[in-house]
Structure 1
Amino acid sequence: MDPVTFLLVGVGAAVGAPLRYLADAAVRSRFDPVFPWATFAVNAAGSFLLGALLGAAGMLPPEIGALLGTGFCGALTTYSTFGYELVALAERRAGRTALVYLAGSAVSGIVAAAAGWTLARLVL
């Protein structure tokens, strides 16, 4: 394991995790708490950024992928919270909301990643 890459992943995560927390707090203060908008938003944003990084693959040093892809996006996005929120919606018998969240998250993540990839390819 390369210690520089390891450090870059940690630096990216040290920025991504607090940003995830701040985004969550900002979204929760503005939107209805019934739908998990904060997780939905950060997962879509992280998918866009990761798609852009993959679209720029070969044009950026691998250290950027470690810093922004693995570190920042890995800490910003959250599959565990997504899973927890789905279970919590099901426990509250909000099945329709859970299905919308599940399908919407999957579709928005894929579309955002494809948009990021396409944008990176067009720009670079």
Structure 2
Amino acid sequence: MTPQLILAVAAGGALGSVARYLVGIGSGKLFGADFPWGTLIINVTGSFLIGAFIGLFVSKWDLSPAMRAFLTVGICGGYTTFSTFSLDAYYLIERGQTLASFAYVMASVALSVGALIGALQFVRAVS
């Protein structure tokens, strides 16, 4: 672990966190706050993004460890939020929306993993 690596993660985390905030606010304004659309969108797009990065690291990009950490641990780590996902699922249950909570959990996991797989397949197909 080097100071350069730590700074890369910190800088990426700051960017990812700001992106997460903006997407969450924008999603709430666009779709309303009755369902955690923002977190769902963030988890799916974040999973797609990290899948694309990993696919590109393997096939096209010869990046330094610091740059890889900046993109994955930093940006993607600051952007995706499964801790918030858990809290949102809990709040739905707490409000008596058990079916909505189950649908949210299933959609988040299935779509995020699917997005990552889709990104890896996409990168492989165009590489």
| TM-score tier (shorter) | over 0.9
Query: Within the alignment, does 1:73 sit opposite 2:76 as a pair?
Result: yes
Q: 2:86 aligns with which of 77, 83, 92?
A: 83
What's the secondary structure of 2:43's corresponding residue? helix
TM-score for the superposition, normalised by structure 1: 0.94
What's the secondary structure of 2:50's corresponding residue? helix
> Would the aligned equivalents of 1:53 and 1:120 in 2 still touch at CA under 8 Å?
no
TM-score for the superposition, normalised by structure 2: 0.92
User: Identity, % of aligned pairs?
Assistant: 34
Q: Structure 1: where are the runs of 5+ without partners?
A: none
Specify the alignment match of 2:7 in structure 1: 7
Q: 1:98 aligns with which of 91, 97, 101?
A: 101
Q: Report the residue type matching 1:16 in the other structure.
A: G
Distance in 1 of aligned mates of 2:4 and 2:123: 26
Q: What RMSD, in angstroms, separates the aligned Cα atoms of the two structures?
A: 1.2
Distance in 2 of aligned mates of 1:76 and 1:116: 17
Aligned length: 124
Q: Structure 2: where are the runs of 5+ without partners?
A: none
What's the secondary structure of 2:121's corresponding residue? helix
Query: Within the alignment, does 1:22 sit opposite 2:22 as a pair?
Result: yes
Q: Report the residue type matching 2:80 in the other structure.
A: T
